[in-house]
Amino acid sequence: MATKKIALVTGANKGLGLEMAKQLAETGVTVILAARDAAKGEAAAAKLRAQGLDAQSIKLDVTNPEDHKAAAAFIEKNFGRLDILINNAGVAGEDLGTGAASTTTPELLRSVYETNFFAPIALTQTLLPLIKKSEAGRIVNMSSVLGSQTLHADPKSPIYDKKSLAYDSSKAALNSFTIHLAHELKDTKIKVNSAHPGWVKTDMGTDAAPMEIPEGGKTGVQLALLPDDGPTGGYFHLGKPLPW
């Protein structure tokens, strides 16, 4: 019998992170819910366990390098490897679509980049030795269509008039990390991809969003469970590539 896959999802105590953890667990994956607030993370994991799913939780503030080391030690001790990493934790920094380039402060840029760009890189680097022990590691960076430079530059694009410099550029930068890491790992079995979940009814997406959370979880889960012949170094929404 095959050993169960082990997945770590950041920002997993609510919203998309919790939904992706749930969907992965429903396929038989052991999920580790990472959350800044240990109590909220454990409460979310307990809800999944009450549904008969294999879920654990760890305290993980993605901006805290000490938490990265503790997460790696926890995974090493309990599982010896990591099969799936979903870098989901992120912040908007402001109301999306309102961040003019001429008025976005350096302080806001730094705070958004800290969580959306620097943190997932640092965490991935810390966990990569464990992912390399997997038979088929999968790294999913939760990006956004708002990270597409191509669509932002196209006057005919639906996002053309929705500009938030801090958030949009942080996701474009995260996409660049996806491309670079996928290239570095191209001769391994590890696949690295960016996901656009859609505009989803979460705290960040608000109730104005057209997509329900279960639908929004699908793209990240698809990329986390890619077969051996699946893509790497791509940018996807529900199986379809997006332009960088």
Residues assigned a catalytic role: 167, 171
Q: What number of other Cβ atoms are within 10 A of residue 23's Cβ?
A: 20
What is the C-alpha to C-alpha distance for residues 128 and 142, in angstroms, rounded to an integer?
17
Write down the residue that tokens 């999968």 correspond to: 138
Q: HEC profile for 50-96? A: HCCCCEEEEECCCCCHHHHHHHHHHHHHHCCCCCEEEECCCCCCCCC
**What is the helix (H) or strand (E) element at residue 7, kind and residue range?**
strand 6-9
User: What are the strands of the beta sheet with 84-87, ordered from one edge?
Assistant: 55-59, 30-35, 6-9, 84-87, 138-142, 191-195, 235-237, 240-241
3-state secondary structure of 32: strand
How many Cα atoms within 13 Å fall on the side-chain side of residue 213?
A: 17
Residue 226 tokens read as: 């890619």
Asked if residue 112 lies in contact with residue 91, where contact means CB atoms within 8 angstroms, the answer is yes
